[in-house]
A and B are shown apart, each in its own frame.
Chain A
Amino acid sequence: MRLPLCFFMTARSFVLSLGLLTAFVYIPAFAQPAAVKVGLIVPLSGPWARQGQVMRQGAELAIKHINTQGGIAALGGAPMELLVFDAGDSVERAKNAAQRMVADEPDLVGAAGAYLSSFTLAVTEVTERASLSMLTLSYSDLLTTRGFYYVFQTSASGAYQSTNALPILLDIATAASGARPKTIAIVMDNTAASVAFVAPIKEGSALKDNNLELVVDEVFTPPLANATSLIQRVRAARPDLLLLLPTTVSDSKLLLEKMNEFGLGRGKLPTVSNGSAMGDPDLLQNMPAALLEGVMSVVGNWSLRGQEGIIEEYKNISGEPWMTQNALSEYGHMWLLKEALELAGVADKKAVAEALHKMDISNGAASYFPGNRVRFAADGKRIDAQLLVIQWQNGVPVSVYPDATAMQKIKWPAP
């Protein structure tokens, strides 16, 4: 068997470069404690590259802040160093990247990633076997039901979101408008995320429990060619609340344009979506901000009150118009790893995992996560994970719930 030459060359040049690297860092090593390495594994190529890029910028900003604020005090001010791995465009690539991360960087103490939940599933199979803690914003409940010790889910899980979203929305409506919605319309595509989100509403007893009547129930297969009949039905039924669950930008645009045309847009009909895609800056490249005005979305994390400084700096560095869930979560993950290192007092991955399990903080790093408290259950779910609601106001999606940390007050049209 003959392996291609490049295979050997890479292995050799890798060893060589490792040697050179060691030589270079040798001298400064006297001056300050060795850097503590953490990993970030996100898609930097392929269709999800933009989200991965945003996550990387968030993590890099956190590392910069941690190091300028004196590094890890418990380790004599050791700086943190971020190593980034490209999870690519497929589960296989993501797994390969994770394997490379644990094989080539045995002294990593923790990692974060990997955006898509299927990627995170594959990556955590590797990190679990390598005893490396993995912090993730992925929603999938499967992540924390495999009996893994080294996975930490900081967002509210999918099941939590779908069961709690409706009661929260009704509470918001009641508080904002004084009247509890009695009718609801659902217009959704048939993708997995949308189907999972409405499952407890359609199949469970959520409607009955909340005295709600489902007046429109429309499911379409993306991509949508024409949204007229869908929106006509919504207008005819005049619901108190619309759950609008498209997944692609083109479908969102068609639906919102049609709503605007029928006089339901710009916040006249309370419209709620799910997921951070409805708050993505990319939307503005495809439709005017006016169309999005008033649209709400249920998300796992978003920029909150008190983070204005970070957001401003992030905007300057990244060129992004605002800080999304993806960027903020990775910013927070780096701070959580820093916190765990302080608790562990040693740059060791197993000690870091133990510290994460023991952690119970309500300040510092905890302020980057809704609920403002970070402690993990044995399965890795964050106990205090909460939902956030964002709303497009004046061309920017801002957090409007929970009130304690919301950037703006919610704008709910009077019934």
Chain B
Amino acid sequence: MMILKRDLLHIMLFCVGYAALAALVGNSYYLLIMTLVPVWAVMGLSWNLFSGYSGLVSFGHAAFFGVGAYTVALTLQIWQLSPWYSLVLAGLLGGFGGLLVGLPTFRLRGHYFALAMLAYPLVMLYIFEWLGYQEVALMMMRERPFAFMQFENPQVYVYLAVVLLALALVVTAILARSRFGMSLLAIKQNEEAAEAAGIDTRYWKLLALCISAAMAGTVGGFYAVVLLVVTPFAVFGMLVSAQALVIAMFGGAGTLWGPVLGAVILVPLSEILHAYYGAKVPGIQGVIYGFAVIAVIIYAPDGLIWKLRAFFGARQTPLPASSVAGLHTKGSASLLACGVEANAAEFILEVKQLQKSFGGLQAIDNLSFNVKRGELLGIIGPNGAGKTTLFNLLNGFVQPDSGSIEFEGASLLKLKPNKICRRGIARTFQVAKPFPRLSLFDNVVIGAYGASHNNNQACMLAGAALQLVGLQDSAHNLPAQLSNRELRLMELARALAANPKLILVDEIFAGLDPESVQVVEQVLRKVTALGITVVIIEHSMKTMVQLVARFVVLDHGALLATGIPQDIVRNPKVIEAYLGKKWLAHAQAH
């Protein structure tokens, strides 16, 4: 809470300071620019809340901005509804627009998502032209200007804009410092890993888009109040979306103050260039502005705010989750222990006649095996045997063509990865992808969200997981400061923080030196000692022989053999699969 309080204090100081400055300015032109700065800052924050935190680039925030602007303009024109009310309506409609846009569009990813978002404001633009709303003017209310948000004194607009900015900042601060922000950051880092860690990615993305769109709608409505004229190009135009994006990226996407910094610099800069050079050297303002943006993108690709922080030698950025409940890095590992009921079945996981093909490739071919509760099972097989596909089937990334997967007696088919994680199956990935700006601890906290009801509990679980893998002393370090071994252990800790009953470990030994292999082996033994079942994939048999209780050997997606390590290493079929027929004869000779 400390960090959040500090944020709120900063927000208050900034906004009061800004308003006080406005009170000193008399020139109505400067006051207009001082009104537009917070307006675009809010638009930048809106974009940032969605795209900055989740990493899903939206080129279409103008759609929500425009809906807000037209809501205010048209309700005033048709029903004489005061902007004091219609601004709220604008926010609601904007948020609803976010929902409508999000539902179909989240089926797309990456560039396809960005391109689809680009289409929405274009569609709106043509719809509003077709409806005949090429130009809508907000009527001048001579009788009761105050009741219609029309003021003689331009300072009042600055104050109103600052109030909107304060609201947007507070909302962003609260969300960013909570499970919401962390979940989005996890999605940004690796959507699959986030889903596997128990985060319902679709839900969080939709919520983020709705809140962000509501912000854009409200500020779009206020923009109409300031501009007094609404045209499709002014509010749905490509420049509106681009402005939101440029302001957030320029200042620093995914940060609280980045968009504010962007707006405070870019809005007056472009306006001053325009005002003082536009009439002398027409177009020069666009050239200078463009170069300024390019320069920042080259020299500070993550945004100016990081460079400024580095320049002023500011402390390390506050780390989101650790701020929420304080650090519980010294949690007790026993918190993760699996209580096994007396009458529990012997098998925790039963796989029957599993089939999966990708086009003509039979990746998993009629595979059946069981996992005993509490055992350390190794799944081995040469490259391409279908090991990772099997994991993807088990944790729900891929649905099988036929067959069944039962975990503790209940089917896992058709469940989303985050639901499977909540049932108690966690996994690690072959390639660790930590979020570079989050501490080790926070990287692990993300894994705990599926299994916890509040941040405090999440931190406890994360602490326990770090304790178990022995990284409690590096909890504050950033991933860049970690060794390869520590990254692997972090990945394991993130899976453990979900408080799983079964953990799927994907090639954790790959590329580790012998000493590290021993350390990781120790950790895995400790994990099984807590009653957690471990299934581990590896293609090298050597390390596994010492570690696991039982092997399942795959070849070309089918079960080749199963049994204790001593039997497996002598199994001719296994030797043939790994080394070929020639070596089989050689091995048998010995």
Contact = CB atoms under 8 A, between A and B. Distances in A.
A1 B21 contact: yes
Contacts of B279: 44, 84-86
Contact of A88 (B14, B129, B229, B274): B274
B33 interface: yes
B17 A104 contact: no
A96 B135 contact: no
B271 interface: yes
B134 A192 contact: yes
Nearest to A84: B279
A100 B265 contact: no
B227 A142 contact: no
Interface in B460-474: none
B135 A92 contact: no
A192 B129 contact: yes
From B17, B135, B142, B233, name the one whose CB has the most chain A CB atoms within 10 angstroms: B135
B137 A4 contact: no
A46 B286 CA distance: 9
Contacts of B282: 44-45, 49, 53, 86
Contacts of A44: 278-279, 282
B137 A146 contact: yes
Chain B interface extent, by class? 35 or more
Interface stretch (B24-32, B48-56, B419-427, B430-438): B24-32
A90 B237 contact: yes
B70 to A, nearest CB: 14
B28 A92 contact: no
A315 B231 CA distance: 35
A103 B28 contact: yes
A10 B269 CA distance: 10
Contacts of B29: 96, 99-100, 102-104
A95 interface: yes
A44 B286 CA distance: 12
Contacts of B33: 96
Interface string B268-285: 110110111011001101
What's the dominant secondary structure at chain A's contact region? helix
Contacts of A99: 28-29, 32
Nearest to A43: B282
Given A90-B234, A122-B229, A49 B283 contact: yes
A103 B581 CA distance: 90
A97 B275 contact: yes
Interface in A346-362: none
B140 interface: yes
B278 A88 contact: yes
Interface in B234-279: 234, 237, 239, 264-265, 268-269, 271-272, 274-276, 278-279
Nearest to B129: A192
A122 B14 CA distance: 31
Nearest to A10: B272
What's the dominant secondary structure at chain B's contact region? helix
A90 B239 contact: yes
A270 B27 CA distance: 55
B228 interface: yes
A44 B276 CA distance: 12
Contacts of A85: 279
B293 to A, nearest CB: 15
Given A6-B269, A49-B283, A92-B227, A11 B30 contact: yes
From B152, B227, B271, B279, name the one whose CB has the most chain A CB atoms within 10 angstroms: B279
B106 interface: no
Contacts of B234: 90-92, 118
Contact of B229 (A6, A86, A125): A125
A44 to B, nearest CB: 4
A3 B21 CA distance: 9
Contact of A121 (B32, B135, B275): B135
A128 interface: yes
10 contacts: A1-B21, A46-B283, A86-B279, A96-B32, A99-B28, A100-B29, A118-B229, A121-B137, A147-B140, A192-B132
Leading 6 A-B pairs by shortest Cβ distance: A86-B278, A103-B29, A1-B17, A91-B234, A1-B18, A100-B29
Interface of B: 14-15, 17-18, 21, 27-30, 32-33, 36, 129, 132, 134-135, 137, 139-140, 142, 152, 227-229, 231, 233-234, 237, 239, 264-265, 268-269, 271-272, 274-276, 278-279, 282-283, 285-286
Given A118-B229, A122-B228, A125-B228, 6 more contacts: A1-B17, A3-B21, A11-B30, A84-B279, A93-B274, A95-B32
